[in-house]
Amino acid sequence: MVTTETTRSGTASTTTWLALIRIALLVGIVSTIAFAVVATGWTTSSGGEFQYTADYWYTALGLPLAAVGLLLALGVYRLQSGRTGRRGTVGVWINGVCCVVLFTEVLGSVVTGSELRWGPVYPLCALGTVVGLGLLAAGSWRVGIFPRWLLGVWPVAWIVGSFFAQGATPLLLTAFYIAVWVVLSRRTASGQLTA
């Protein structure tokens, strides 16, 4: 039996997760645009000690990338109230752990002023985020909150626009974030999601 209190609690939870997703999307949009600008317009060194101010900017922009990757995935998962099944649960955990490790490695690089190399940790965690997002997208496929095309694009946009980005490719991730914003706004306005 659904009570008024249960409905209010569900609405409050949806509102909270929608707000978290929107904050993550805003941070993601700003940081990926800045990332593309730094990657295409500024001189950076290749590995080792940082030689230019752009090295700090380029590396530090990995912090919001990792945070947004974690928060957006968690928000999408929670917005669907766990209906993503085992795939979604495993995916959000894999993505979360990998984003935390990447955040830590990037933070260490910024603090020490040099590119930290923890063996294969960076590429494995970057790939781990893609696997995690792929599993979350697969679990979200049948839930119906997000269009299937958007779920299919998510891991691809993530890999080319985040930790394996080259040049202006972070703008593809920017476009994905804007698409998610538009979808959520339309679903909220039509009453499919309560905000």
Tens digits of residue pLDDT in 32-43 = 999 999 999 888
φ, ψ for residue 114, nearest 5 deg: -155, 160
Low-confidence ranges of the chain (pLDDT < 50): 1-9
Alpha-carbon gap, residue 175 to 87, rounded angstroms = 26
- Predicted confidence at residue 1, as pLDDT, reads 44
- Predicted confidence at residue 12, as pLDDT, reads 62
- Predicted confidence at residue 108, as pLDDT, reads 94
Alpha-carbon gap, residue 125 to 65, rounded angstroms = 13
- Predicted confidence at residue 174, as pLDDT, reads 98
| Domain range summary for the chain, segments of one domain joined by + | 13-189
Using alpha carbons, list the distances in angstroms from residue 156 to 6, 18, 37, 82. 37, 23, 21, 23
Q: Are 84 and 77 in contact (CB under 8 A)?
A: yes
- Predicted confidence at residue 120, as pLDDT, reads 93
- Predicted confidence at residue 115, as pLDDT, reads 86
- Predicted confidence at residue 4, as pLDDT, reads 41
pTM for this structure? 0.89
- Predicted confidence at residue 7, as pLDDT, reads 43
- Predicted confidence at residue 101, as pLDDT, reads 97
